[in-house]
Chains A and B, each alone.
Chain A
């Protein structure tokens, strides 16, 4: 199946700093990418949907100025957590949909962010 990678797999940062997480589709072109957030023992919560070359669509309650999403190419999307705080500590997961397919999302392995 299609492969999605995320980098880094885990990151620890100080409060107030910004962190960038990369999501890459390795063997397909992802016209649409999704970013999810997962808290311990809770479900994945969709944060935003991004289409290549356009602005991301954020879910209700997600601060777009805090979680900056860029989908500059068909194989790369980035999530930047700006001015991170301890409450932003979480597991962030991305997924992508191949062009022409609307029912199969390919997921990355996730990035664990810990803000001290």
Chain B
């Protein structure tokens, strides 16, 4: 079945550092790929998505590229801020994207 493997956390970085959170997937067919973010006390929010191979999703300075050859969708940001502290979930969507399969989540803490 479908699965998502995500870099384990927690990850602690200094402000303005570069961020990479690894995500790889296993799926049949051609899934869509997502990154969700959960800020403290809030629900998961869609951060970015990509629907086909080589697509790059981007939002709020974050980006991720759908790599079919390596079955990866790594999340990157060139300069993180304290406000980026949250839990990040990689997910894939199948069956019309209604059913999502999530990774375990990575807690990111940015220190000033």
Judge whether A46 and B45 touch: CB under 8 Å: no
CA distance A106 to B102 in the complex (A): 15
Question: Closest approach, in angstroms, between the C-beta of B80 and any C-beta of chain A?
Answer: 22
| Known contacts A41-B104, A44-B89, A103-B97: A109-B41 contact under CB 8 Å | yes
Tell me what chain A mostly uses at the interface: helix, strand, loop, or mixed: strand
Interface size bracket, B side: 20 to 34
| Known contacts A1-B45, A43-B89: A49-B98 contact under CB 8 Å | yes
Chain A residue nearest to B107 in the complex (CB): A41
Tell me what chain B mostly uses at the interface: helix, strand, loop, or mixed: strand
Asked if A35 CB lies within 8 Å of chain B CBs, one says no
B49: chain A residues within 8 A (beta carbon) = 103
Question: Closest approach, in angstroms, between the C-beta of A40 and any C-beta of chain B?
Answer: 10
The total of Cβ contacts below 8 Å across the A-B interface reads 51
Judge whether B99 and A49 touch: CB under 8 Å: yes
Asked if B46 CB lies within 8 Å of chain A CBs, one says yes
CA distance A1 to B46 in the complex (A): 10
Question: Closest approach, in angstroms, between the C-beta of A89 and any C-beta of chain B?
Answer: 19
Chain A residue nearest to B42 in the complex (CB): A109
Chain A residue nearest to B46 in the complex (CB): A104
Of residues 20 through 41 on chain A, the ones whose CB sits less than 8 Å from some CB of chain B are: 32, 34, 41
Of residues 85 through 116 on chain A, the ones whose CB sits less than 8 Å from some CB of chain B are: 93, 95, 97, 102-110
Of residues 25 through 75 on chain B, the ones whose CB sits less than 8 Å from some CB of chain A are: 32, 36, 38, 41-46, 49, 51
Residue among A1, A49, A102 with the highest chain B CB neighbour number at 10 A: A102
CA distance A109 to B43 in the complex (A): 4
B98: chain A residues within 8 A (beta carbon) = 32, 34, 49, 97, 102
Question: Closest approach, in angstroms, between the C-beta of B53 and any C-beta of chain A?
Answer: 17
Asked if A4 CB lies within 8 Å of chain B CBs, one says yes
15 A-B contacts, Cβ less than 8 Å apart? A41-B104, A42-B104, A43-B4, A43-B6, A43-B103, A43-B105, A44-B100, A46-B99, A46-B101, A49-B98, A49-B99, A93-B43, A103-B49, A105-B46, A110-B43
